[in-house]
């Protein structure tokens, strides 16, 4: 699908250059996790590779080892949020859903009331 939208990479252009202040959650040599700069949820953490990787299905010049490292950090952050809050969601987007064209993962906690109203009480 072709669009006239300019490709945006907020993470390379703003976050990784230090132009935007972030609150770091976790960092490895190649991966950064931080609180979203404009959160949509009570807990909204973003995990990104520190080098440009277009998306989950287009790793660009990166290899599967970087993807594995990113997913490992996502797993660790998600485990931390679940331990603290009792639940979380992990989301990555593709195509038109991916506003910033740099692979990134969201680790989210919506709040217990919203979770229970959406998903019920099946596990209590």
- Which class in CATH covers the domain with range 10-119? alpha beta
Under a CB-based contact definition with an 8 Å cutoff, are residues 22 and 37 in contact? yes
pLDDT, tens digit (0-9, with 9 covering 90-100), for 15-47: 988 999 999 999 999 999 999 999 999 999 999
C-alpha to C-alpha distances, 40 to 57, 62, 108, 110, 115, nearest whole angstrom? 25, 29, 9, 9, 14
The CA-atom distances, in angstroms, between 89 and each of 30, 49, 78, 104 are 23, 19, 8, 14
Q: Contact, 108 vs 88, CB < 8 A?
A: yes
Locate the domains of the chain by residue range: 10-119
Q: DSSP characters for 27-90?
A: E-SSEEEEE-SS-SSSEEEEEEESS----SS--TT--HHHHHHHHHHHHHHHHHHHHHHS--EE
Q: What pLDDT digit, counting tens, does each position of 50-109 carry? A: 999 999 999 999 999 999 999 999 999 999 999 999 999 999 998 888 888 999 999 999
Q: What does pTM read for this prediction?
A: 0.85
Cβ of 110: how many Cβ atoms within 10 Å? 20
């Amino acid at each position: 699908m072709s669009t006239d939208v300019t490709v945006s990479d907020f993470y390379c252009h703003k976050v990784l250059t230090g132009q935007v202040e972030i609150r770091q959650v976790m960092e490895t040599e190649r991966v950064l996790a931080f609180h979203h700069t404009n959160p949509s949820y009570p807990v909204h953490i973003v995990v990104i590779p520190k080098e440009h990787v277009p998306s989950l299905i287009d790793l660009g010049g990166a290899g599967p080892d970087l993807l594995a490292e990113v997913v490992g950090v996502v797993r660790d952050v998600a485990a931390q949020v679940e331990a603290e809050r009792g639940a979380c969601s992990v989301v990555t987007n593709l195509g038109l859903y991916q506003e910033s064209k740099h692979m990134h993962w969201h680790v989210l906690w919506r709040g217990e009331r919203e979770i229970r109203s959406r998903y019920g009480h099946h596990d209590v």
